[in-house]
């Protein structure tokens, strides 16, 4: 199971968490949310007549939320059971009007008897107001059920609101003798085809993808999802002195691109080109720590909740040196180079390891 044995604590919340994952890569900047409606009369999940009468998840940003989809899935002959039912939802029901009306109001309107939830919503537009509205309407509310699993599910969402920066994923591929690139910064193919395809899936799951100057110049990457169906992330490039040539793939206009450098911040959108002076991102003294911090603050202001950092070695090392990362994904290939650019030193604790084709994928989190 995706979330491990802790799911056994509550089978209906487990199901809601599984449903929520179906929205991965499609709902940002909203969180992934799942909802299961159970007719259980007295809220006792172990009695024989407890059964699921509706379920749903947030499928795409701007479309119906999980609670609405779950309620709409309840058959007409079961609608009268809602006052004797519990809605298991992975995040606090919203209480404000956005692209959709408040889910808390819908639960009240349909007289759902009880709401059980993993996490409070950290978004200031909600932040406890959804629960307060439900309780004021006489609906029993239970919170904190499988809380850690809920936080794992929406780690990007919680990082964005609690740490005021995007969720940072460091990714690289290294040879068995510890090199990330060839001699003279020559690009070399390290990982296999299955690993490449998996990386393209990852790209579609994140808001942004970041590379440094040397990677953009030497590898000339497209930074898109051409090997996997999904949205293209915003491309983010560090180019301190504006030395990158304009004919690189990252400047082809096919997807939004942000370039951070010492004099200007440029953002190329679908039909908008915005330029403004911004000496704080890369101040004249060029402190890596301050520039990195300011870059992440700026990305936060633009609503980018997660960034996949794909290199190169210097940029990856900057994140490691400053301790600003949330996840590390490292492919190790059986290939050997003998010489070249050394891979960063792995940090953190190992959380998983598996084989992806001919490569070994290890995932780490900070200690």
pLDDT digits (tens, 9 = 90+) for 317-335: 999 999 999 999 999 999 9
Q: What is the pLDDT of residue 101?
A: 86
Q: How confident is the model at residue 272 (pLDDT cuts 50, 70, 90)?
A: very low
Q: From residue 298, give the alpha-carbon distance in Å to each of 164, 310, 364.
A: 10, 19, 26
Give mean pLDDT, residues 269-296: 55
Q: What is the pLDDT of residue 243?
A: 86
Which entry of 9, 18, 55, 67 is annotated as an active-site residue? Answer: 67
**Please, are residues 346 and 320 in contact by the beta-carbon 8 Å criterion?**
no
d(CA 331, CA 313): 14
Q: What is the pLDDT of residue 45?
A: 52
Give mean pLDDT, residues 244-270: 76
Q: How far is CA 9 from the centre of its chain?
A: 25
> What are the tens digits of pLDDT across the range 9-18?
789 999 999 9
Where in the chain are the domains?
Answer: 5-157, 163-365
Pairing label, strands 273-277, 264-268:
antiparallel
**Please, are residues 37 and 89 in contact by the beta-carbon 8 Å criterion?**
no
Give mean pLDDT, residues 151-179: 97
Give mean pLDDT, residues 70-82: 94
Q: From residue 275, give the alpha-carbon distance in Å to each of 182, 213, 234, 267.
A: 36, 20, 17, 7
Q: Is residue 42 scored above 70 in pLDDT?
A: no
Give mean pLDDT, residues 22-38: 96
Q: What is the pLDDT of residue 40?
A: 82
Q: CATH second-level architecture of 163-365?
A: 3-Layer(aba) Sandwich (3.40)
User: How many other C-beta atoms can be found within 10 angstroms of the C-beta atom of residue 351?
Assistant: 11
Q: Is residue 270 scored above 50 in pLDDT?
A: no
Give mean pLDDT, residues 201-219: 95
Percent share of the chain, pLDDT over 70 = 88
d(CA 261, CA 278): 9
Q: Which CATH number applies to 5-157?
A: 3.40.140.10
Average predicted confidence (pLDDT) for the chain? 88
Written as one string, the DSSP assignment of 94-114 is P-S-SSS--HHHHHHHTT-SE
Nearest 5°: phi and psi at 366? Answer: -60, 150
Q: How confident is the model at residue 291 (pLDDT cuts 50, 70, 90)?
A: confident
327 flagged as catalytic: no
Q: Is residue 69 scored above 80 in pLDDT?
A: yes
Length of the chain, in residues: 367
Q: What is the pLDDT of residue 99?
A: 79
Q: What is the pLDDT of residue 285?
A: 52
d(CA 51, CA 75): 13
Q: Is residue 109 scored above 50 in pLDDT?
A: yes
Report the DSSP beta bridge partners of residue 259. Answer: 237, 266
Q: Is residue 47 scored above 70 in pLDDT?
A: no
Question: How many contiguous H segments (helices) and E segments (strands) does the chain have?
Answer: 10, 17
Q: Is residue 4 scored above 90 in pLDDT?
A: no
């Amino acid at each position: 199971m995706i979330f491990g044995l802790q799911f056994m604590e509550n089978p209906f919340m487990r199901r809601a968490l599984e449903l929520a994952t179906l929205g991965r890569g499609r709902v940002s900047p909203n969180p992934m949310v799942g909802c299961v409606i159970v007719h259980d009369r007295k809220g006792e999940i172990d009695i024989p007549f407890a059964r699921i009468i509706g379920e749903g998840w947030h499928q795409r940003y701007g479309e119906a939320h999980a609670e609405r989809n779950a309620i709409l899935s309840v058959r007409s002959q079961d609608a009268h059971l809602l006052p004797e039912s519990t809605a298991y939802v992975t995040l606090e029901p919203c209480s404000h009007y956005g692209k959709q009306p408040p889910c808390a109001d819908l639960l009240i309107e349909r007289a759902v008897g009880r709401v059980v939830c993993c996490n409070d919503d950290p978004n200031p537009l909600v932040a406890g107001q959804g629960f307060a509205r439900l309780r004021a309407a006489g609906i029993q509310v239970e919170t904190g059920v499988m809380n850690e699993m809920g936080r794992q599910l929406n780690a990007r969402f919680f990082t964005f609101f609690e740490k005021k920066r995007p969720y940072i994923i460091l990714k690289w591929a290294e040879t068995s003798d510890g090199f990330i690139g060839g001699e003279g910064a020559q690009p070399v193919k390290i990982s296999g085809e299955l690993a490449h395809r998996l990386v393209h899936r990852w790209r579609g799951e994140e808001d942004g993808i970041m590379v440094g100057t040397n990677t953009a110049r030497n590898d000339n990457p497209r930074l898109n999802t051409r090997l996997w169906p999904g949205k293209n992330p915003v491309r983010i490039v560090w180019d301190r002195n504006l030395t990158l040539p304009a004919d690189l793939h990252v400047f082809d206009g096919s997807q939004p691109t942000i370039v951070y450098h010492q004099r200007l911040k440029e953002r190329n959108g679908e039909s908008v080109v915005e330029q403004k002076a911004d000496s704080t991102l890369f101040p004249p003294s060029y402190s890596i720590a301050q520039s990195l911090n300011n870059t992440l603050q700026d990305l936060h202001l633009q609503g980018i909740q997660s960034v996949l950092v794909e290199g190169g070695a210097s940029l990856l090392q900057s994140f490691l040196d400053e301790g600003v990362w949330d996840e590390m994904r490292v492919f190790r290939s059986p290939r050997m180079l003998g010489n070249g650019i050394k891979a960063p030193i792995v940090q953190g604790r190992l959380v998983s390891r598996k084989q992806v084709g001919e490569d070994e994928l290890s995932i780490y989190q900070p200690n």
